[in-house]
Amino acid sequence: MQLTNAARQLKQRNIPFTYHSYEVDASDVSAKHVAVSLGKPLDQLYKTICLENEQRRYAFFLISGELDIDLKAAAKAWGAKKASPVPMKELEALTGYIRGGVSPIGAKKRFPVYLHDSAKQKDTIIISAGKRGYQLELTPADLLRFTDGHWFTQ
């Protein structure tokens, strides 16, 4: 099995993770589809959303699969006046990832990472491995430690 860049980086730092793969449906890259494909609960799957603020700075926000991002709460956690999703057409050039395969690990540039506090109640969470069809399962604490991440509430 070929590891993604995100998985290789975790392995190099000896951070334990489980590597999951699933059949990709290009017409449905939703968190719900991924959770069903993996046979995992939707609230264990955390989707990565790349946001930009008014100063054109960027950050990754991870929220549980059943939630929608609250942009005001994200901006507040980030110390920004406002936050908005990076336009799809700019996502790959900025991060190196395409929609449905964005990971907070191994992006072209290192951006701040914010993990929704619902993950505090989870032993492990599942995040994108940086390529459609692959996911990483790890503890929230390991993700925050690896990314120098922060908790946020919405």
* pLDDT at residue 1 in the model: 67
- Domain residue ranges of the chain, discontinuous segments joined by +: 5-152
State both tokens at 21. Answer: 């793969």
Residues 110, 122: Cα–Cα separation, whole Å = 25
pLDDT in tens, the chain (154 residues): 689 999 999 999 999 999 999 999 989 999 999 999 999 999 999 999 999 999 999 999 999 999 999 999 999 999 999 999 999 999 999 999 999 999 999 999 999 999 999 999 999 999 999 999 999 999 999 999 999 999 999 9
* pLDDT at residue 26 in the model: 87
Strands, DSSP E only, in the chain?
A: 18-21, 46-53, 58-64, 83-85, 113-116, 125-128, 134-138, 150-152
Predicted TM-score of the model (pTM): 0.96
Fold of 5-152: YbaK protein (3.90.960)
DSSP state at residue 14: T
Number of neighbouring beta carbons within 10 Å of residue 151: 14
